[in-house]
Amino acid sequence: MEDQATPAGAGDGRLVLAATPIGNPGDASVRLREHLAGADVVAAEDTRRLHRLCAALGVTTGGRVLSYHEHNEASRTPVLVEEVAAGSTVLLVTDAGMPSVSDPGYRLVRACADAGLLVTALPGPSAALTALALSGLPSDRFAFEGFPPRRPGQRERALAALAAEERTLLFFESPHRTAATLAAMAAAFGPERPAAVCRELTKTYEEVVRAPLGELAGWAAGREVRGEVCLVVAGARPGEQALGEAELVAQVVARVEDGERLKDAVREVAQRHGTASRELYDAASAARRAARG
């Protein structure tokens, strides 16, 4: 059992996970300002964005600034662990929100914890929780799913596995994939499932659009979605009926377009949703012929 309530001694080093503003610099906490100025080492996902944040806050970093991102975290983690072990305060910041939540940080937290070093946090802004609160959807039970897979077939499979999840679902998505993801969600969860698109939270052009998934897919398809995007989807109702044939066919077609054989795609979707393979195969084949003209 891990217990860090009693660090070895006063003055020992520590890793501090710092939440940074998700848009508006005014959301920076007093403690974040103090630690940016006073930490021995500041590890930043993007050092340029860190310097812009410090300029906006009127803060000068007093310690050494190092980059720490997905491409160098494996090699840089031991360096930062050594800094903490030697008595330094290492402040970890990402581009927005809390480190390790769809951002670098987990590997470093795990390494420090395994080494018996103190890890603490400066809580603050969270895009996922802000979107959940603004969505108007149930917030008593929820599941954060991060970014959906990029490839259509993988995305379809991941969403299909969540179709019966009764908790509210939270996703991050890039703006140029938002329309495709909403269409895939409408196919996987049903077009009437309530949802919300939350973009540019806390920024000048903040927008929250609440509607059923089918309507949101149409809304996104007809415009250029911009900015940071969070998608919030209502959970399945207890005993919610299985998807109709059109939604199941859409899942099969997406998997085939991603390189899977039609026979294999039909078998997987049919088994997952408890439907007959032959009828689904015939319907998917007809849909593909119609699409080819």
CB 135 within 8 Å of CB 29: no
| Structure-token match 């160098």, residue found | 72
Picking from 94, 125, 156, the residue at the C-terminal end of a domain is 125
Say if residue 8 is exposed, middle or buried (CB neighbours under 10 Å; 0-12, 13-18, 19+): exposed
Q: Are 148 and 168 found together in one domain?
A: yes
What are the pLDDT digits (tens) for 138-147?
999 999 999 9
Q: Would you say residue 1 lies in a domain?
A: no
Q: Are 133 and 117 found together in one domain?
A: no
Q: Grade residue 114 by pLDDT with cuts at 50, 70 and 90.
A: very high
Q: Would you say residue 178 lies in a domain?
A: yes
What pTM value is reported for the model?
0.78
The dihedrals phi and psi of 196, each to the nearest 5 degrees, come to -150, 140
Domain that holds residue 52: 14-125
Q: Would you say residue 250 lies in a domain?
A: yes
CATH of the domain at 229: 3.30.950.10
The pLDDT score that the predictor gives to residue 10 is 38
Picking from 90, 125, 160, the residue at the C-terminal end of a domain is 125
Say what percent of the chain tops pLDDT 90.
Answer: 71
Q: Grade residue 273 by pLDDT with cuts at 50, 70 and 90.
A: low
The dihedrals phi and psi of 247, each to the nearest 5 degrees, come to -70, -40
Q: Are 99 and 142 found together in one domain?
A: no
